[in-house]
Amino acid sequence: MPSTTTPTSTESRTHRPPPSSFTFPFQSHAGNPDPGTHIPGTRRRSLDVDDLRKPFAPFMAETQRSSTPESNLSRTESSNSLYKQSAAANIPRNSSVHSFRAPFLSPSSRPSSTVWTPPTYTLQSPNISTTALPLSKSKPPLPSTRLPAPLEKHEKPWLQRPQKGERASYFLTLSFLFLGIAGAAILCWRGVADVLLLDESKLCLVMDDDFSSESLNTDNWSLDVQLGGFGNGQFEMTTDTSDNLHLQNSQLYITPTLTSQALPNLDIFNGANFTLPGCTSRNASACRAVSNAQAGLVINPVRSARIHTQGKKSIRFGKVEVRAKLPTGDWLWPAIWMLPVNSTYGAWPASGEIDIVEARGNTAAYKAQGNNFVRASLNYGPIASGPLLNQIFGWFGLKRTNYAAAFHTYTLEWTEDWIRIYVDSRLHKMLEVKLKKKGKGSSMWGLGNFPQTARNHSDSLVVVQDPWEGRGGIAPYDQDFYLIMNLAVGGTSGWFPDNVGNKPWFDGSLTAMRDFARAQDTWSATWPESVDDRSMRVDYVKMWTKCR
In a domain, 170, yes or no: no
CATH number of the CATH domain containing 480:
2.60.120.200
Please name which of 528, 527, 535 lies closest in space to residue 246, comparing C-alpha atoms: 535
Give residue 222's domain range: 204-546
Alpha-carbon gap, residue 403 to 376, rounded angstroms: 14
Q: 45-71 burial, b for 16+ CB within 10 Å, e for fewer?
A: bbbbbeebebbbbeebeeebeeebeee
Sequence-distant (≥ 6) Cβ neighbours of residue 159 within 8 angstroms: 153
Looking at the domain assignment, is residue 520 inside a domain? yes
* 418-423 and 408-414 strand pairing: antiparallel
CB-CB neighbours of 502 under 10 Å:
11
- 310, 483 in Cβ contact below 8 A? no
How far apart are the C-alpha atoms of 375 and 397, rounded to whole Å?
A: 9
Across-strand partners of 47? Answer: none
Quote the CA–CA distance of 53 and 55 in Å, as a whole number: 6
Q: Are 285 and 368 in contact (CB under 8 A)?
A: no
Terminus-to-terminus CA distance in the chain, angstroms?
135
506-515 contacts, C-beta under 8 A, 24 or more apart:
507/233, 510/296, 511/296, 512/233, 513/233, 513/235, 513/298, 513/300, 513/301, 514/269, 514/296, 514/297, 514/298
Do 303 and 239 meet the contact criterion of CB atoms below 8 Å apart? Answer: yes
Any domain includes 164: no
Q: Is residue 111 domain-resident?
A: no
pLDDT at 185: 94
Pairing of strands 536-546, 203-209: antiparallel
Among candidate residues 344, 354, 357, the one with its CA nearest the CA of residue 318 = 354
State how beta strands 373-380 and 121-122 pair: unpaired
Is 182 part of any domain?
no
Q: What share of the chain is helix, strand, coil (3-state, %, to 5)?
A: 20, 25, 55
> Domain for residue 77, yes or no?
no
Bridge-based pairing of strands 536-546 and 129-130 is unpaired
CA distances from 144 to 63, 151, 339, 366 (A): 58, 17, 87, 71
Picking from 235, 241, 362, the residue whose alpha carbon sits closest to that of residue 301 is: 235
d(CA 200, CA 323): 19
What's the DSSP call for residue 399?
A: S
Q: How many domains does the chain have?
A: 1
Q: CA 327 to CA 380: how far, in whole Å?
A: 28
86 contacts: CB under 8 Å, gap ≥ 6: none
In a domain, 294, yes or no: yes
At 437, phi and psi to the nearest 5? -75, -30
Distance, in Å, from the CA atom of 69 to the CA atom of 46, rounded to the nearest integer, reads 17
Per the DSSP assignment, residues forming a β-bridge with 122 are 129
Asked if residues 422 and 338 have their Cβ atoms less than 8 Å apart, the reply is no
List the pLDDT tens digit at each of the 548 positions of the chain.
Answer: 444 444 444 444 445 656 555 454 544 455 555 444 444 444 544 444 444 455 555 555 544 444 444 444 444 444 455 555 555 555 555 544 444 444 554 555 555 555 555 565 555 555 555 555 666 667 788 888 888 888 888 888 877 777 778 888 889 999 999 999 999 999 998 888 778 889 889 999 999 999 999 999 999 999 999 999 999 999 999 999 999 999 999 999 999 999 999 999 999 999 999 999 999 999 999 999 999 999 999 999 999 999 999 999 999 999 999 999 999 999 999 999 999 999 999 999 999 999 999 999 999 999 999 999 999 999 999 988 888 999 999 999 999 999 999 999 999 999 999 999 999 999 999 999 999 988 888 999 999 999 988 887 777 888 899 999 988 899 999 999 999 999 999 999 999 999 999 999 999 999 999 999 999 999 999 999 999 999 999 999 999 999 97
pLDDT at site 60: 52
Let me know: does 534 contact 330? Beta carbons within 8 Å. no
